[in-house]
Structure 1
Amino acid sequence: MLPDAVAALRCPVCSGTFVLDHQAQLTLKCPTGHAFDAAKQGYFNLLTGKGTVFESDSAQMVAARQRFLDAGHYAPLEEAVAGLASDFLDRPGSLVLDAGTGTGHYLRTVLDASPKAAAIGLDISKFALRRAARLNPEAANLVWDLWRPLPVADDAVDVVMVVFAPRNPAEFARVLRPGGTLIVVTPQPGHLADLASLGGMLKIEEGKAERLAATMSGYFTEAVEHTLDVPLVLSGSEITDLAYMGPAGHHLRREEIDALLHGRATLATTAKFQLSAFTGGPRLS
């Protein structure tokens, strides 16, 4: 499936098409000579110039996220995303773009449910992509800044999925094929409220759903909206992992989160998600 994904990629320097060169080291090459070698873990870093001003998730944050997701705590969300995507990925050559793929867990569930699909995974964190490339070796896993123009051809993608990641509606609309869908997962008010009150986590603001719809207007029409509540009963290090794997990990050390939790042995809370599926709409000129 990797060749199908590569066919949809475009060189970030000249917008040329890529081919895979298997000599010595796996390399993406465009006709004008720009080349990007795969890291030993299997991902490609396409960022050029000064890179990005945005802070990527650290190795420790990524490890916490992998442990938490490996334990299956968010399996209902993974399955819900895969269910929404599967209707658009049922033909050979269909393509899913996971914008903010992280450790690749959500994309793995999508690909298991839609075995005919090829995949591209983008993330700013090389630490996350090391794990994503191991989990999804058939995907094109790329270091990329989602606020930049995506290194993907126009009208090339059947599904764009964005799970707790930045949203670039103009670029998502550009790369989606007519009839494709954009799946966005965001937290609802009250998400992990019992943990947020203890672990230095940011609370979810009211009106977030309305702001999401406003951001997408002009590019997409919202077709389907679902809410999903996932009860969680966590113990020990799982509690710290959940707090540390999110935004709190950017401004608190793990030891500081542990201190805020006061050695709590168990925690019951609820993860509250909104899943929004958008279809293509009028694009802004």
Structure 2
Amino acid sequence: MLGRLRCPLCHAAVLCRDGRTVRCRAGHSFDISRHGHLTLLSGRRRHRGDTTEMVTARESFLRQGHFEALRSTITAFAAEYAPRQTGLVADLAGGTGYYLASTLDALPAAWGATLDLSAAALRRASRAHPRAAAVGADMWQPLPLASRSADVVLNVLGPRTPGEIDRVLSSDGVLIMATAGAEHLRELRSRLGTIGVDPRKADRLRHAFEGFTEVARQAVRWRLALGRDQVRALVDMGPSAHHVDADHRDRVVHQLPDILGVTAAVDVVVLRRDTTRS
């Protein structure tokens, strides 16, 4: 795994391990936590990672299978379109490793890495799968991955930097990207004021990935039947947790019916780098 990483400070692509420390050839050192994840951060951070409370809510919600339709679609695409000799599967902003784990089950010769800024998420991700590592990284900074090092890149409902994905993806590798559709969780927006989807998002993504070729696409739509505790967890597990006042959330959730129907709408696309480029 270290052979696929690079130093976030000098970008040296050779890292060596010495006990619980990883060093690059220039002498920059990074610690492996007692929980097993390696932190490769440059120190310049504009964004904060998910809190322990957010990660706990996400783990509880996902464990109940509410997003299984999305995970199954991502896993199927990985099995169908990954290179035959898949080495590294890199899950960008991968959280607890929920989607990476099932992808690795479908690719028995591959190994994986969850990259995320949240230490709370990485503690879970380090245990998500026997062939998966967890790496602390900022998705808005250059990724601590060597160029052309990833045969599959996953990006599921998280931030992304197209230029860095282009750099790290192998020549025959695939990007599997899942983005929220316009109707995603609309019932929560109308009641709780949760974050919506930019109507220009699809156009922005097409422009950002214009150097890629689309090879598959699936609009995943399903209906969630959620009790009050599940609604609370769904709000608390995502970026809306930073914006929705907790007291307001609790008042609204208390007034909800026993079961609330919620729309889930996620678009999953498989992209390859344009082979006419270098």
TM-score relative to the length of structure 1:
0.90
Q: Distance in 1 between matches of 2:92 and 2:165?
A: 9
Which one of 195, 205, 209 corresponds to residue 202 of structure 1? 195
Matched, 1:223 2:220: no
Structure 2 CA distance for partners of 1:90 and 1:42, relative to 1, 3 Å: same
Report the counterpart of residue 78 of structure 1 in structure 2. Answer: 71
* CA pair 29-92 structure 1, distance change in 2 beyond 3 A: farther
Structure 2 distance, partners of 1:281, 1:105, is: 29
Structure 2, gaps ≥5 residues long:
none
Give the superposed CA RMSD: 2.0
Match among 5, 13, 16 for residue 9 of structure 1: 5
1:34 and 1:136 map into 2 onto residues whose CA distance is 28
Q: Which amino acid aligns with 1:18?
A: L
How high is the TM-score relative to the length of structure 2?
0.92
Instruction: Report how far residue 43 of structure 1 moved.
Output: 0.8
**Secondary structure, counterpart of 2:192 in structure 1:** coil
Shift in CA distance, 137/14, structure 1 to aligned 2, threshold 3 Å: farther
Residue type of the alignment partner of 1:79: S
- Within 5 A, what are the aligned runs for 1:84-123? 84-89=77-82, 91=84, 94-123=87-116
Once the two structures are TM-superposed, the CA of residue 163 in structure 1 deviates from its matched residue by 0.6
How much has 1:283 moved relative to structure 2?
9.2
Deviation at residue 86 of structure 1 after TM alignment: 2.0
Residue 18 of structure 1: aligned partner: 15
Is the 8 Å Cα contact of residues 220 and 278 (structure 1) preserved in structure 2?
yes
CA distance in 1 between counterparts of 2:261 and 2:219 reads 20
Q: CA deviation at 1:98?
A: 0.4
2:237 matched to which residue of 1? 245
Q: Displacement, 1:199?
A: 2.1
Equivalent in the alignment of 1:279? 272
1-structure distance, mates of 2:39, 2:245: 27
1:137 to 1:45, Cα distance in 2 relative to 1, 3 A = farther
C-alpha separation in 1, matches of 2:156 and 2:246: 23
Match of 2:35 among 22, 32, 41: 41
Distance 1:47 1:184 in 2: 24
SS at match of 1:47: coil
Structure 1 residue 94, shift from structure 2 partner: 1.4
Deviation at 1:60, TM superposition (A): 0.8
Q: Deviations over 1:123-179 (max 9, x none)?
A: 111111111112235323111111211111111111111111112111111111112
CA-CA distance at 1:15 after TM superposition: 2.4
8 Å contact from structure 2 (residues 177, 269) kept in 1: yes
Identity of aligned residues (%): 36
Deviations 1:20-67 (A, max 9, x none): 33x3xx332223332222111111111133x31112211111111110
In structure 2, what residue type is equivalent to 1:103?
T
Q: Which amino acid aligns with 1:46?
A: L
Distance 1:65 1:178 in 2: 34
**CA distance in 1: counterparts of 2:237 and 2:68, whole angstroms:** 16
Write the distance in 2 (CA, Å) between the matches of 1:188 and 1:93. 29
Match of 1:181 in 2: 174
Distance 1:111 1:254, change over 3 A: farther
**Cα distance change, pair 90–211 in 1 and its aligned pair in 2 (3 A):** closer
Tell me, in whole angstroms, the C-alpha distance in 1 between the residues paired with 2:83 and 2:207.
30
For this pair of structures, how many residues does the alignment match?
A: 276
CA spacing shift, 1:150–1:275, aligned 2, 3 Å: same
* Post-superposition offset of 1:6: 1.8
